[in-house]
Amino acid sequence: MNIVILSRNPSLYSTQRLWKAGEKRGHRMYIIDHLNCDIVIERNKPQIFYGRKKLKNIHAIIPRIGASVTFYGTSVVKQFEMMGVFSATGSDALVTARNKLHSLQLLSMAGVGIPKTIFTNYTNDVKKLISFVGGAPLVIKLLEGTQGMGVMLAETDSAAISVIEAFHQLKARVIVQEFIKESDGADIRAFVVDGKVVGSMMRKAKQGDFRSNLHRGGTSVPIQLTKEEEETAINAAKVLNLGIAGVDILRSKRGPLVIEVNPSPGLEGIERSTKQDIAGSIIKFIEKNAQA
């Protein structure tokens, strides 16, 4: 098959691993910068040009769309889908998963455990907002934050009020979540492909921080999920209609709680921690669903 990886940086670990995994299984792999694609919208004739070249005879795409370019990136993915190309991550699912608030709403309605979360339209009654999640300490998240950026821990009510009011004055939208103390600065990343957990690791925050993201200096170790944690990860990906997902889970006294579902999860941390061929699992998922 002809498989295109939509990536802005060919040298990234994830991009290279997918390239090599596809070639190893006999496919023709291409890397295309989605921001350099031109979309031609015409009645019954969707087309994409990459520079002056019309893209055709492509059987599948693997979107590696960064959060900052979600709008244009998902537009390119949608155009490929309209051309009959299978996408490892669907455009609608990508848009939904990138909307943190909408994702949490869908997960909660499906019965997936999540931390208690509050969102308002720049309320003036910040104290009431804080009381809804049981007071400080609490977590404040920018809706557009990624890789731990825009995530803050407010340890006192007064600190929480100051931070929330500052963001409201800047017209920056935030969500407020309860702090799960018993997680002790650690979370679980479960990597789901085609309805199965193909790798899982526990990430621990560096000393003095509560964010466990590897990009923020956290460490990771492979971990065996409990049955409930595995079911939670699989269900979260299913609810958001994601064939590929990085599901982030906190261990709490009331069971596993999903804090985020990443529709374009990186491969470096999970593969190096678990020693599993995650990229190969993604290629097999494509082989199962794409038409050559």
| 162-203: pLDDT as tens digits | 999 999 898 888 899 999 999 988 999 999 999 999 999 999
Same-domain status, 136 and 63? no
Same-domain status, 235 and 202? yes
Question: Which of 130, 183, 140 lies closest to 163, judged by CA?
Answer: 140
Same-domain status, 190 and 263? yes
DSSP 8-state code for residue 2: E
In a domain, 111, yes or no: no
Question: In this predicted model, what pLDDT tens digit does every residue of 119-130 receive, in sequence order?
Answer: 988 888 899 889
230 touches 198 (CB < 8 A): no
Listed as ranges, residues in the chain with pLDDT below 50 are none
60 touches 3 (CB < 8 A): yes
Same-domain status, 31 and 10? yes
d(CA 259, CA 138): 14
207 touches 281 (CB < 8 A): no
Same-domain status, 160 and 86? no
pLDDT at 151: 87
Same-domain status, 37 and 75? yes
131-152: burial string, b at 16+ Cβ within 10 Å, e else = eebeebbbbbbbebbbebeebb
Domain boundary pick from 154, 179, 204:
179
Q: In the chain, how many domains are there? A: 3
Same-domain status, 9 and 34? yes
Same-domain status, 138 and 201? no
Same-domain status, 277 and 187? yes
Domain range for 81 = 2-90
Same-domain status, 150 and 191? no
Supply the pTM of this predicted model: 0.90
pLDDT at 282: 98
